[in-house]
């Protein structure tokens, strides 16, 4: 359930921007709802042009003016759609086993990175319409300089929230395991020092060593 997109996507987040041993769990473009504004305007412009042709008299001034207005509206909405699609294509919301990454921009880039181990809480918010189409907002609170970050037009934000929590738990579990290994190594070194000083007998050293390695 953690993998919300395929890494074979030609517009996927570039592997060259990942660190060594960093794996991607989520790689999302904005939800298609992000494109709805210019699509609605373009559709309305086309519908208005068709209605104008149907209800106005041929060669009338009203028809000519309405036709030019409709053409201008369609041209502007087409430019808006192309621009918005470019932003959609170059915007990534990525979750790895180490970071939450937001990156956007074609000619100029901007973005933010939040280390997984600094994430404190993750909230999502969806209105009724957003629930119906499967989009929403994600609010991430972290202990770093970024503090609180809000991300909009996130597909299936409830699933994304669960993925972040899973990565946080995996990171925390791995950290606890690493601490335990270091602690055992330190205790073994102390036991060896005590054996060399004669504080422990070889039998006592072996017994304590077995106890540590067994635990």
Phi, psi of 124 (to 5 degrees): -130, 155
Structure tokens at 163: 């993925």
Task: Report d(CA 52, CA 63) in Å as an integer.
Answer: 7
pTM of the predicted protein model: 0.69
* For residues 53-63, average pLDDT: 79
Q: What is the pLDDT of residue 3?
A: 44
Q: What percent of the chain has pLDDT over 90?
A: 33
Higher pLDDT residue, 58 or 185? 58
- The single-letter DSSP state of residue 31 is P
pLDDT at 183 over 70: no
Smallest Cα–Cα separation from 115: which of 159, 155, 168?
Answer: 168
pLDDT digits (tens, 9 = 90+) for 89-145: 999 999 988 999 999 987 788 889 999 988 989 999 999 999 999 999 999 998 766
- The single-letter DSSP state of residue 30 is P
* For residues 185-190, average pLDDT: 70
């Amino acid at each position: 359930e953690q993998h919300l997109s395929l890494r074979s996507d030609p517009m996927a987040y570039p592997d060259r921007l990942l660190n060594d041993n960093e794996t991607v769990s989520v790689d999302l473009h904005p939800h298609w709802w992000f494109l709805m504004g210019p699509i609605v305007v373009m559709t309305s412009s086309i519908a208005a042009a068709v209605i104008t042709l149907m209800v106005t008299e041929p060669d009338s001034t009203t028809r000519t003016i309405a036709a030019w207005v409709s053409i201008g509206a369609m041209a502007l909405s087409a430019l808006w759609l192309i621009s918005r699609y470019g932003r959609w294509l170059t915007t990534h919301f990525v979750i790895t086993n180490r970071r939450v990454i937001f990156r956007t921009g074609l000619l100029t880039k901007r973005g933010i990175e939040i280390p997984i181990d600094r994430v404190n809480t993750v909230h999502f918010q969806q209105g009724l319409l957003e629930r119906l189409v499967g989009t929403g907002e994600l609010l991430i609170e972290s202990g770093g300089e970024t503090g609180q970050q809000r991300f909009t037009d996130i597909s299936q934000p409830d699933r994304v929230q669960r993925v972040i929590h899973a990565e946080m738990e995996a990171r925390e579990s791995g950290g606890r395991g690493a601490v335990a290994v270091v602690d055992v190594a330190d205790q073994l070194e102390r036991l060896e020092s005590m054996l060399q000083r004669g504080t422990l007998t070889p039998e006592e050293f072996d017994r304590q060593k077995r106890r540590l390695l067994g635990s």
